[in-house]
Structure 1
Amino acid sequence: MLCLVFCESGDQDKPMKHVGLSLGDGRVIDARNHVKGVVLSHITAYPWTHYAALPPFPKSQLISPGERGERVRGCRPC
Structure 2
Amino acid sequence: MWTNQDFQPGMRVRVTNSIEFGTRARERMSVEGMVVRFAEQKTGSWFAHGRDGKVWIDRLELRKDDGELVQVNLDRNSEVEVLGAGEGA
- The TM-score bracket by the shorter chain reads 0.3 to 0.5
The structure whose residues are more often strand, as a share, is: 2
Q: TM-score, normalised to structure 2's length?
A: 0.33
Q: Which has the higher contact order (CA 8 A, sep 6+)?
A: 2
Q: Could you state the TM-score of these two structures normalised by the residue count of structure 1?
A: 0.36
